[in-house]
Structure 1
């Protein structure tokens, strides 16, 4: 090994003795930096997906409960008082932070339709089939958009 180094020095190729270790170190540092960067990005994306999954699950649980009432299943109006539920208020705040704008807009539309239906039901009025269809279609579209956002 020492003979090889002496030969490189004598033949004027001493720069190989510097270039190889420097390049090796540079590639090691570059690979380390790239691995850390990619790992951090993946970890962040997974955290966001987990948060969305939790918030969307809570929201869809509430939507499902309300669906039973609006579509004519047995359900108590007291259980539909989600606007006073502190857990739902917390979930709504997290939803506004995490969900993309198009999903927030659809949820807002769906919530408006839901409140209209609940108001009629509280007044002991029957819902028309078109109102139930509108409610059901926005609920289904909201669920589909959440699934798409989560990649499932």
Structure 2
């Protein structure tokens, strides 16, 4: 009789353990889905991570480079040294999501750091032809479908 109780106790412990494990994995899967993001192209703060295959490093005390596409088809941003302005157009009706930047201007403040980044961002934006958003990442492509910039959506 004692051996039957041991077997039942053992089975109950195993069943409880499996139930708890199953609940935990379901909860983790639900959490992973709930934190999966697809940031909108418009009005997100897009921090520049890479331009023309060069990783952007921000020194302590230096402001990060970013762009923000506004609802009024205007762009605002910062190169790490100067401010960026201009306009853009988006077409999402085609099989490819096209994005074009126009009339890109930057202020002309001289900076001891960030000038090399400054000189690469504006010309890169002029070459953008399309984009893709994956999670919180924005990839900008040229007309040859090469990735020319990687950006990340930052939430405040």
Do both proteins adopt the same fold according to a TM-score greater than 0.5, normalized to the shorter chain? no
TM-score by length of 1: 0.35
Give the structure with the larger helix fraction: 1
Give the structure with the larger strand fraction: 2
